[in-house]
Chains A and B, each alone.
Chain A
């Protein structure tokens, strides 16, 4: 497919003259979702879902979130020169979208980050048949067959009951993971107030303004130490085992991440209760999705592309590694902390 090409700025649609999730400021950008490695500041013209645009404004301020923002709801089409463009739900976080591009009878889908597992806080991933599918590969190894998140929530709640004198502090990213974790806890019948690190609150308010109910959320930062005993505290991953956590009485350090599936990763982080909850597609979901789109060619943006391309090859699908540098692994340093 020669009308999509890789430039230093990122993936570029030549006939439409725009980039998708560009890594540097550009004149026209389509943004898949609000994580800071995909949604970067100082573009001239930005297209995204209303939720993604709101997230960008919250995280970087009106001035930096694009000189001109153009909202596109799921399924709504625009034609950019000769390219028809629309957005489909990606199931990653609130407002996350796959970018569907149609040009000269061919269809390409750039999926951004996505997952197939249930998430009460965002619209589920929709398979869009296409000729070219552009995918992530964060968890593209067959060891990543991630468990049902409800099982992980049950594990957390069991621990909270077993150690009522301690405080469970759960590391989670400010955008997406935090709200999903809250919604999953509520679904499993936990309706106590949750205590949040200050960096997590604004994004939760934004989710609620888009109609995602999260229950009672209190600030952990101003709470009295004893109030937190026995409760669940949510904080960015960088804070859970650092100075901020010293305000908590007898904390049990928990972390939600797909990486927690690997023992050594959890050990190295000093996590006491690893919770395997991820907002990315696991191995089976990656293969199923690539196959379900019917694409004859799959491009892999970032992650473990070698294993995914190898497995796709065995399924008769041609794979290509884009090796986009700048999209981060789901890890502590990245998108969780920028929430203003």
Chain B
């Protein structure tokens, strides 16, 4: 537990991806089995045991500490598990016992009954130091935030064995904690784990943005065009061992979309399909914000299932009845997809239509006029392209429509992280609105990308020279600089004071030429984009 706790602590404060990978590699090579496998499971969120409720932790702490002192401390720290970890006074007799290993914690919690939990936890807290107590309490309350995604942990494992992360992904979902065969394979002590009939994830093929490419050099007849739908790219898998819904980063989101699992199980077909997850109302694709609400829930309510039904627009087929189709050219896979679809007629699924065209200028017009909900732009796929995992340059292009823009005023700034920790690089910007005859700025979003290094230097200096107030790490600045903000879509949002939110906002230009008074109004924004 000590090494795991130290790893968690370091990861939590490290913004750099490369450093996180280095820390993970160090841990995975130093820790023993099955500890490291349970650590990996904790990061991937695949551990399961009866978790403890916060009320129980509080009650345990109260047995040892004055309630008033506890209340002041909790008020100061603001996090229950952290407060208990810090405040815990070990029973002197117990503290001489060896602290529990991660394996002991995981396996004990899996096997004991709920009534035994408090006594077991008390013993562990007594024999552990503060950082282990913190990790332990976060783990058992099910609120462990690792500061490293499952994908990052797999990347670290892959690097240890000169594999690609995708090679780990292909076996991952056939394995379970504590992943001992995986570690043996990584260290060259065992064979590659065979997923057999497990519904494993297949790394998807991704497209490059269409930049620095001259479409005039392309032969239209060699290309296929589809709409680029604004949902979540998913992989649907059905094998004899079960059904899964994966995101393109291998996250299993089936529980959030049980209606899709039902369909996959009902169709009785063994397939791996590639498509876009969308909420579809009467054949209309709902805005991304609606899908977001479904994604935010681990399990949907009955009302959500009724009001926001999920569907999948199919792009591709990877496997059919055990046959790997990935080495077939796009046109042949498409034919297989269409014939499978016609034969099975799966509910909740639709085919992504191929858009006929004879030259690219036709497509350009379509792309610019595509302002309907749910369309982000176009996809161009080479007719003979094989299904290659990763993001190869050449066979597939995404041709997004031009971003929307708004002229907003910078209101607050905050320093970035890692390499940007000395630069004010996170900007909150707002639009004008009139309340009781008074004009005021109301924040509509934050941007921390889109600028060049030179522009960042300018913005950093501007912030420092025009600060009018400080709130902890946040600087309020003179409302005098206009930024042109590019964004992909606008939506209503109850989380923001302005009532609106932007998708993927970034700084597209610094408008020093524009007086702040002439920045856009919230009213005009709503009229134009909502």
Q: CB-CB contacts of B394-433 with A at 8 A, as 1s and 0s?
A: 0000000000000000000001010101100000000000
| B73, A143: Cβ atoms closer than 8 Å | yes
Cα-based distance from A304 to B69 in the complex (angstroms): 11
What residues of chain B lie closer than 8 Å to A141, measured between beta carbons?
A: 69, 72-73, 76
Taking a contact as CB atoms under 8 Å apart, the answer to whether B415 and A270 are in contact is: yes
Classify chain A: how many residues form its interface, as a range.
Answer: 35 or more
Judge whether B22 and A162 touch: CB under 8 Å: yes
Q: A141-B76, A266-B13 are in contact. List 18 more A-B contacts (CB 8 A).
A: A141-B69, A142-B70, A143-B87, A144-B86, A147-B129, A147-B130, A241-B422, A243-B422, A252-B19, A262-B76, A263-B79, A263-B82, A264-B78, A270-B417, A272-B14, A274-B13, A306-B72, A307-B69
Chain A residue nearest in CB terms to B464 = A243
Interface: A261 (CB within 8 A): yes
Distance (Å) between the CB of A138 and the closest chain B CB?
13
Question: Is B15 an interface residue when CB atoms closer than 8 A count as contact?
Answer: yes
B385 lies within 8 A of chain A by Cβ: no
Whether A246 contacts B66 in the complex (CB less than 8 A), given A143-B83, A143-B86, A145-B86, comes out as no
The 9 closest A-B pairs by CB, nearest first: A143-B86, A241-B421, A143-B73, A142-B87, A272-B13, A141-B73, A307-B72, A270-B421, A143-B87
Whether B87 pairs with A253 at a CB distance below 8 angstroms is: no
Chain B residues within 8 Å of A159, by CB: 10
Question: Which B residues lie within 8 Å of A273 (CB)?
Answer: 10, 13
Report the separation of the CA atoms of residues A251 and B417 in the bound assembly, to the nearest whole angstrom.
11
B26 adjacent to chain A (CB < 8 Å): yes
Contact across chains for A314 and B66 when beta carbons are under 8 A apart: yes
Is A162's CB under 8 angstroms from B26's CB? yes
The contact sample of 18 A-B pairs, CB cut-off 8 A, is A142-B69, A143-B73, A143-B83, A147-B129, A245-B421, A246-B422, A252-B19, A262-B77, A263-B79, A264-B78, A264-B79, A269-B473, A273-B10, A306-B72, A307-B69, A310-B66, A311-B66, A314-B66
Interface size for B (C-beta < 8 A) is 35
- The distance from the CB of A169 to the nearest CB of chain B, in whole angstroms, is 10
Check B473 against A268 for contact (C-beta < 8 Å): yes
CB distance from A253 to the nearest CB of B (A): 6
Say whether A267 contacts B76, CB under 8 Å.
no
Establish whether residues A267 and B13, one from each chain, have CB atoms under 8 Å apart when the complex forms.
yes
What 1/0 flags go to A261-299 for Cβ under 8 Å of B? 111101111111110000000000000000000000000
Which B residue sits closest to A242, measured CB to CB? B422
Query: In this assembly, does A163 line the interface, its C-beta being within 8 Å of a C-beta of chain B?
Result: yes
B13 pairs with A143, CB closer than 8 A:
no
Q: Which residue of B lies closest to A276 (CB)?
A: B130
Smallest CB separation, A143 vs chain B (Å): 4
Q: Are A245 and B422 in contact (CB under 8 A)?
A: yes
Q: Given A142-B65, A245-B422, does the pair A270, B473 have CB atoms closer than 8 Å?
A: yes
Which residue of B10, B12, B417 contacts A263 across the interface (Cβ within 8 Å)? B12
Residues of B close to A245: CB separation below 8 A: 421-422
B472 CB-CB contact with A under 8 Å: yes
CB contact list, A98-152 vs B, under 8 A: 141-145, 147
Are A271 and B13 in contact, CB atoms less than 8 angstroms apart?
A: yes
**For residue B78, which residues in chain A have a CB less than 8 angstroms away from its CB?**
264
Closest to A158 in B: B6
Interchain nearest-CB distance for B104 vs A (Å): 23
- Bound Cα distance A252, B419 (Å): 9
B83 to chain A: closest residue by CB:
A143
Interface of B is mostly: helix
Determine whether B68 belongs to the interface, using a CB cutoff of 8 Å to chain A: yes
Q: Give CA–CA (A311, B68) in the complex, Å.
A: 10
Contact residues in A for B70 (Cβ distance below 8 Å): 142
Chain B residues within CB distance 8 Å of chain A: 6, 10, 12-15, 19, 22-23, 26, 65-66, 68-70, 72-73, 76-79, 82-83, 86-87, 89, 129-130, 415, 417, 419, 421-422, 472-473
How far apart sit A266 and B123, CA to CA, in the bound complex (Å)?
29
Nearest CB of A to B92, in Å:
13
Query: Contacts A163-B22, A307-B72 given: A143-B77 contact, CB under 8 Å?
Result: yes
Task: Tell me the bound Cα distance from A20 to B80 in angstroms.
Answer: 40
Residue in chain B with minimal CB distance to A262: B77
B271 to chain A, nearest CB (A): 45
B-facing residues in A296-332 (Cβ within 8 Å): 304, 306-307, 310-311, 314
Interfacial chain A residues near B65, Cβ < 8 Å: 142
**B contact residues around A306 at 8 Å (CB):** 72
- Nearest chain B CB to A245 CB, angstrom units: 5
| Complex contact A310–B68 (CB within 8 A) | yes
Q: How far is the CA of A314 from the CA of B68 in the complex (A)?
A: 12
A83 CB, min distance to chain B CBs, angstroms:
37
Q: Return chain A residues, CB-CB under 8 Å to B89.
A: 142
Contact with B along A191-222 (1 / 0, CB 8 A): 00000000000000000000000000000000
Kindly list chain B residues whose C-beta atoms are within 8 Å of the C-beta of A307: 69, 72-73
Residues of B within 8 A of A274 (CB): 13
In the complex, chain A residues whose CB is within 8 Å of the CB of B415 = 241, 270
- The listed residue with most A CB atoms (<10 A of its CB), out of B14, B23, B76, is B76
Q: Given the complex, which residues of A lie within 8 Å of B14, measured CB to CB?
A: 272
Determine whether the beta carbon of B86 is less than 8 Å from that of A261.
yes
> In the docked arrangement, what's the CA distance between A252 and B19, Å?
10
**Across-interface contacts of B129 in A (CB, < 8 A):** 147
A255 CB, nearest partner CB in chain B, Å: 10
A313 to B70, CA, bound (A): 16
Which of chain B's residues has its CB closest to A265's CB?
B77
Give the docked Cα–Cα distance between A261 and B129 (Å). Answer: 13
Contacts of B87 in A (CB 8 A): 142-143
Assembly CA distance A265 to B65 (angstroms) = 24
Closest to B84 in A: A143
A148-166 Cβ-contact flags toward B at 8 Å (1 or 0): 0000000100010011000
Please give the distance in Å from B269's CB to the nearest CB on chain A.
Answer: 49
Please name all residues of chain A whose beta carbon is closer than 8 Å to the beta carbon of B6 when the two chains form the complex: 155
Return the chain A residue nearest B64 by Cβ: A142
**Cα distance, A264 to B83, chains bound together (Å):** 12
Residue of B nearest to A260 (CB): B13
Q: How far is the CB of A329 from chain B (nearest CB, A)?
A: 13
| Complex CA–CA separation, A273 to B82 (angstroms) | 18
CB-based contact A142/B73 at 8 Å: yes
Q: Residue of A at shortest CB range from B26?
A: A162
Closest approach, in angstroms, between the C-beta of A262 and any C-beta of chain B?
6
Q: Chain A contacts of B472 at CB under 8 A?
A: 268
- Give Cα A266 to B83, complex, Å: 15
- Please, which residues of chain A bring their CB within 8 A of the CB of B10? 159, 273
Which of A141, A271, A273 has the most chain B CB atoms closer than 10 A to its own CB? A141
Asked if residues A253 and B421 are in contact (CB atoms below 8 Å), the reply is: yes
A264:B77 contact, CB within 8 angstroms: yes
Chain A residue with the shortest CB-CB distance to B85: A143
